[in-house]
Amino acid sequence: MEQDWPLDRALAVADRAIGVPVLTELCYQTRATAVTMNLPELWQRLGVSLAENTVTFDDAAPLAATQRALTARSREQASVVH
């Protein structure tokens, strides 16, 4: 299912899911400042990699707990055989 939401609503829903308003606060603190993100480094720290069209997760990565929280539902769905 796909929906278009205003940014404020999406952030509020995400913050409620997390339990703290961290995403809303971060957005408003940084939105006026251009940010350069090193995505390959972030993926590595999260323990997410792609090889031959397959995503793998490294649960020993420094930000593995964050990666598990973000992908928990996706992992559950991936394990269901249709």
Q: At 19, which amino acid appears?
A: G
Q: 23-80: per-residue pLDDT in tens?
A: 898 888 888 888 788 999 999 999 999 999 999 999 999 999 988 888 776 555 555 4
Residues 3-21 pLDDT 10s: 889 999 999 998 888 888 8
Q: What is the pTM of this model?
A: 0.53
Q: What residue type is 16 in one-letter code?
A: R
Residue 44 to residue 37: CA distance in whole angstroms:
13
